[in-house]
Amino acid sequence: MDDVDLEVSRELERRLAVIDDEQRRDPHPPFPRSDLLVLVAIVVVSVVVGLIAGLG
Amino acid sequence: MAAHEDVSREATFGSLPVTRDERVWNFADFTWVNVGLAIATWAFLVGGATASLVGFADGLLAMVIGNAIGVVIMLLASVVASQRYGVEQYTVLRSVFGFGGVALIVFTVILFTEMGWSSLLSVMFGRAVSQVSNEALGTSIDPSGLAVTAFALVAIVAAWVILAKGPLTIRFFNRIVAPGLAVLTVGMLVLVFTETSWSQLVDAAPLAPFEDEGLNFALAVEFNLGVGFSWWPVMGSLARLTTTPRAAMWPAFIGLFGATILAQAVGMAAALTLGDSDPTVWMVPLGGAWLGALALVFVAFANLTSLASIVYSTCLALRQAGGHLLTRVPWPWLCAGFFVLPGVLAFFPGLLYDQFLLFVTWTGAFLAAICGTVIADYFVLRRQRIDLRGLYGHAAASPYHFTGGFNVAALLSTGLGALTYVLLYNPQTLETRPAFDLLTASVPAVVVAAVAHLLLTALLVRRAGRGGYDAPPAPVAERSGERNG
C-alpha cells in the first residue's frame, strides 16, 4: 500500500467514524413510505393512461 | 500529484461517503441543479425526434407518459440509496452487482452510452457552427460534410481543455449556460407561436411516421421512456449531496420530468412548424439571420458544457470502477482516452445524430433492466439497508464480494431484462411483437429484471450465504431512524 492508498484509507476510516457518530445521534431516515406510494401511483396512472391511449 | 491533493479530490468528488456537513443541497438548491440539467440542448433533439413519429397532441402525451414512468423508476434506482448513505451510485451498486460486476457494467453499458451522448453533442456543436458559417459567411457546408467533422473535433478538444481544468470550470460555465438555455427555450416558444397558430400546430403532420399509427405512438412512448432512463448514470452522484430524502427525490422529479417536458415540447413544436427534426436547422428560420446565428452560437457553447459535464461524471465512474489500474492514470489522460471513440465517430456525423431514436432506445434497453434489478435488490431484498463499511471492504472481507466479485444473479437478471426488451422491440430491425404496442418494451424489461433478481437471488445467492442479505438487523440507531421516515 503506497502513500496515496494509506491517505485514502485513513480518510475513509475518519469519515466512517463520523458517519457512525451521526447515525447514533440523528440517523438518516429511509425513503418515506408515503412518498414511495405517490411515486408508484404516478407510474400506475401513467401506465393506465398509456394503455387507454394505445387502445384508442 | 501529492497524496493530500488526491485525497482531497476523492473526498469531494470520489467514492468516499460524505458526512452531514458536506451535504450542501436543500430542496431549492437541488431543484435548480436539476432544472439546469434538464433544460439542455438534448431536450430539443428529443422533441425533434418525437415529432418525426407523432403529431403535437400525441407527442405531448407520449412525452408525459414516457418521462413520468422512466424518470420515477430511474430515480428510485439511483437517488434513494445514494442519498441515504451519502455515497455515489457506482459504489452503492457494489451491493447489487459486486465489485467486479460494477466494473463490468461501467465499462460496457455506461461507457458506450456516455460515449454515444458525447458523440451526439460534439456533432450537434459541429452542425450548429456550420449553420452559423452558412448564414454569416455564405458557405454551403453539408450537414454530414468534413467541415462538420472538423468542428466536432474542435468541440472535443475544447471540452477536454475544460475538463482538464477541473470541476470548478465546468460549474462556472454551467452557471452561464443553464439560465441562457432557459431564456432560449422561452424565446423559441414565443417565436414558434408568432410563426404558427395553435390549431396549425395541433394539425401538423408528423415528419417521418410509420404506416401504423398505434406503433408510432408506442415508439414515441418507448423513446421517451429511454430518455427518462438516460439520466441514471449521473443522478446518484448528485443526490448524495442533498440534505433529506425528499430534498433529493422531488427536485429531481420536478427538474427531469417538468422542465424536460417543457423544453422537449418547445423542440417538438419547432420541429413540426419548420418540418425538420434537427434543432440546428430551426434557429435561423425562427429568429432571423442575426438572432438565429446568435442562438446557434449559444447552442454550440451549451453543448460544450454538457459534453464536459457528461465526461466528467463518466471518467470519475471509470476511475472508481477501474481500481488501481485507472487510479494511477493522470486525469487529463483518462479524459483524453474517453474521447477517442467520440473522436472517431465525428468522422461519421450522421451515424448517431440521424439515428438518435435508435441510440436512445438501445441504451434504454440496458438501463431499464439495470433499474429493475437495483430496485428489487435495494427495496425488496435489502429493505433499504446497506452495510456502509461493506461497500469499501476488500475482497472476501466484504459481503458484497459475492462470487469472485460478481453477483451472478443480478447480472443474469439484467441480461434477461434486456433480452425481454429486444424480444418485444428490436431497435435495430424495428421488429415488434403485438404486446409492444400496449406494454412498450422498457416496462416489461424492468419487471422481468426485478422478478428474475428476486428468484435468482433466492436460488443462487442466499442459499450460498452470500451477499449479506441475511445479515443481522441494523444497529439500534438506524432502526430508530426508520420510525422517523
What is the pLDDT tens value at each position of chain A, 56 positions in all? 567 678 878 888 999 999 999 989 988 889 999 999 999 999 999 999 988 887 76
pLDDT at B228: 95
Provide mean pLDDT across the span B65-72: 96
Q: How far is B2 from chain A (nearest CA, A)?
A: 8
Name which residue leads in pLDDT, B18 or B471: B18
Say whether pLDDT at B401 is over 60.
yes
Provide mean pLDDT across the span B455-467: 94
- CA gap B302, B283 in Å, rounded: 14
Beta bridge partners of B425: B432
Residues recorded for chain B: 485
Which residues of chain A have a CB within 8 Å of the CB of B86? Answer: 19, 28
In percent, the amount of chain B with pLDDT more than 70 equals: 94
Q: Is B217 on the interface with A (CB under 8 A)?
A: yes
Domains of chain B, by residue range, sit at: 47-470
Say whether pLDDT at B190 is over 70.
yes
Say whether pLDDT at B256 is over 90.
yes
Place of cell 434513494: B80
Buried b (16+ CB within 10 A) or exposed e, B5-18: ebbeebbebbbbbb
Q: What is the DSSP letter of B206?
A: P
Q: Which of B16, B65, B327 sits opposite A15 (nearest CB)?
A: B16
Beta bridge partners of B485: none
Beta bridge partners of B426: B431
Highest mean pLDDT: which range of B160-169, B170-179, B313-322, B379-388:
B379-388
Contact between B40 and A28 (Cβ < 8 Å): no
Residue B52: φ, ψ to 5°: -75, -20
Say whether pLDDT at B365 is over 90.
yes
pLDDT in tens, B136-155: 888 889 888 899 999 999 99
Q: How many CB atoms lie within 10 A of CB B83?
A: 28
Counting Cβ atoms within 10 Å, is residue B1 exposed (0-12), middle (13-18) or buried (19+)?
exposed
Q: What is the DSSP letter of B431?
A: E
Number of domains in chain A: 1
Q: Which three cell numbers mark B7?
A: 485525497
Which residues of chain B have a CB within 8 Å of the CB of A19? Answer: 17, 19, 86, 388
Contact between B365 and B232 (Cβ < 8 Å): no
pLDDT at B3: 38
State the pLDDT confidence band at B130, using cuts at 50, 70 and 90: very high
- CA gap B118, B223 in Å, rounded: 19
Buried b (16+ CB within 10 A) or exposed e, B32-57: ebbbbbbbbbbbbbbbbbbbbbbbbe
pLDDT in tens, B200-210: 999 999 999 99
Cα torsion B365, B368, B373, B374: sign:
positive
Q: Which three cell numbers mark B24?
A: 450542501
Residue B384, helix vs strand vs coil: coil
Beta bridge partners of B431: B426
pLDDT in tens, B325-355: 777 788 888 899 999 999 999 999 988 888 8
Buried b (16+ CB within 10 A) or exposed e, B431-469: ebeeebbebbbbbbbbbbbbebbbebbeebbeeeebbbb
pLDDT at B116: 92
Name which residue leads in pLDDT, B295 or B250: B250
- CA gap A43, B250 in Å, rounded: 15
What's this model's pTM, rounded to 2 decimal places? 0.90
Rg over CA atoms, chain B: 22
Q: Is B388 on the interface with A (CB under 8 A)?
A: yes
Residue B402, helix vs strand vs coil: coil
Contact B245 A29 (CB under 8 A): yes
pLDDT in tens, B86-113: 998 999 999 999 999 999 999 999 999 9
pLDDT at B2: 40
Average pLDDT, chain B: 88
pLDDT at B175: 77
Q: Which residue of B has its CA nearest to A18?
A: B19
- CA gap A4, B475 in Å, rounded: 32
**ipTM value greater than 0.90:** yes
Contact between A24 and B477 (Cβ < 8 Å): yes
Which residues of chain A have a CB within 8 Å of the CB of B76? Answer: 36, 39
pLDDT at B297: 87
Residue B329, helix vs strand vs coil: coil
HSE-CB at B449 with a 13 A cutoff on CA atoms is 31
Q: Which of B7, B73, B221 sits opposite A7 (nearest CB)?
A: B7
Contact A8 B72 (CB under 8 A): no
Residues recorded for chain A: 56
- CA gap B384, B377 in Å, rounded: 9
Q: How far is B394 from chain A (nearest CA, A)?
A: 11
Q: Which of A16, A32, A51 sits opposite B246 (nearest CB)?
A: A32
Contact B392 A46 (CB under 8 A): no
Q: Is B32 on the interface with A (CB under 8 A)?
A: no
pLDDT at B480: 39
In which domain, by residue range, is A47 found?
Answer: 3-55
Provide mean pLDDT across the span B311-324: 81
Q: Which three cell numbers mark B106?
A: 461501467
Q: Which residue of A has its CA nearest to B214?
A: A54
pLDDT at B6: 44
Which residues of chain A have a CB within 8 Å of the CB of B481? Answer: 23, 26-30
pLDDT at B477: 43
Give residues with Cβ within 8 angstroms of B238, minimum separation 6.
B30, B33, B252
Q: Is A1 on the interface with B (CB under 8 A)?
A: no
CA B464 to each of CA B247, B416, B457, B461: distance values in angstroms, whole numbers, following the listed order = 38, 22, 10, 5
State the pLDDT confidence band at B483, using cuts at 50, 70 and 90: very low
- CA gap B28, B35 in Å, rounded: 11
Q: Which three cell numbers mark B4?
A: 493530500
Q: Is A29 on the interface with B (CB under 8 A)?
A: yes
State the pLDDT confidence band at B472, using cuts at 50, 70 and 90: low
Contact A11 B16 (CB under 8 A): yes
- CA gap B204, B200 in Å, rounded: 6
State the pLDDT confidence band at B428, using cuts at 50, 70 and 90: confident
Say whether pLDDT at B194 is over 90.
no
Q: Which of A22, A28, A46 sits opposite B84 (nearest CB)?
A: A28
Contact between B357 and B223 (Cβ < 8 Å): yes
CA B401 to each of CA A34, B351, B393, B398: distance values in angstroms, whole numbers, following the listed order = 34, 40, 9, 6
Largest pairwise CA distance in chain A: 66
Domain B47-470 = CATH 1.10.4160.10: yes
